[in-house]
Amino acid sequence: MIYDVAVVGAGPAGLAASLTAARHGAKVLLLEKQWRTGRRLAVTGGGRGNVGNLHLDVNFYNIEARPLLEAAADRLQADALTSFLRSVGVLVFADEEGRLYPYTRQAQTVVRSMEDMLEEWQVTLELETELVDFQRQSHGPFRLSTMRGERLARTLVLAVGGTARPTLGGDATAFKLLQKKGYSLRPPKPALVSLVTEKTLAKADGVRVIAEGTLRDRQGKIVKTSAGEYQITKNGLTGIAAMQLGRYVSGDRGPYELTLDFAPHMSADEVAKWLRHVIALQPTRDGRFILTSLLPQKLAVLLASGKKNAGTFADVAVPSLVQAVKETKLSVLGTNDWEQAQVMSGGVTSEMLDTKTLESQIDEGLFMCGEMLDVDGETGGYNLHWAFMSGRTAGCEAAKKALSRRAD
Ligand SMILES: Cc1cc2nc3c(=O)[nH]c(=O)nc-3n(C[C@H](O)[C@H](O)[C@H](O)COP(=O)(O)OP(=O)(O)OC[C@H]3O[C@@H](n4cnc5c(N)ncnc54)[C@H](O)[C@@H]3O)c2cc1C
Domain tally for the chain?
Answer: 3
User: Does 61 lie in the same domain as 36?
Assistant: yes
- Ligand 1: centre distance to CA 38 (Å): 7
User: Does 115 lie in the same domain as 73?
Assistant: yes
Q: By alpha-carbon position, which residue is closest to atom 3 of ligand 1?
A: 44
Q: What atom of ligand 1 comes closest to residue 385's alpha carbon?
A: 11
Q: What atom of ligand 1 comes closest to residue 383's alpha carbon?
A: 11
pTM for this model (two decimals): 0.91
Q: How far apart are CA 44 and CA 51, in angstroms?
A: 8
Q: Report the CATH number at residue 282.
A: 1.10.8
Q: By alpha-carbon position, which residue is closest to atom 29 of ligand 1?
A: 11
User: Does 155 lie in the same domain as 51?
Assistant: yes
User: Does 141 lie in the same domain as 84?
Assistant: yes
Q: Which of 55, 338, 9, 385 is nearest to 192 (CA)?
A: 338
- Ligand 1: centre distance to CA 41 (Å): 6
pLDDT tens digits for 56-74? 999 999 999 999 999 999 8
Q: What atom of ligand 1 comes closest to residue 15's alpha carbon?
A: 25
Considering only 119-133, 292-306, 366-380, which range has the smallest mean pLDDT? 292-306
Q: What was the pLDDT predicted at 153? A: 97
Tell me the HSE value of 1 on the side-chain side, using a 13 A CA sphere.
8
Considering only 21-25, 210-214, 311-315, which range has the smallest mean pLDDT? 311-315
| Residue-wise DSSP of 164-227 | S-GGGT--SHHHHHHHHTT--EEEEEEES-PEEE-GGGGGGTT-EEEEEEEEE-TTS-EEEEEE
User: Does 125 lie in the same domain as 61?
Assistant: yes
pLDDT tens digits for 382-396? 999 999 999 999 999
User: Does 259 lie in the same domain as 132?
Assistant: no
Q: Report the CATH number at residue 215.
A: 2.40.30
Find the domain containing 223 and state its range: 192-263+328-335
Q: By alpha-carbon position, which residue is closest to atom 35 of ligand 1?
A: 9
User: Does 83 lie in the same domain as 41?
Assistant: yes
User: Does 17 lie in the same domain as 37?
Assistant: yes
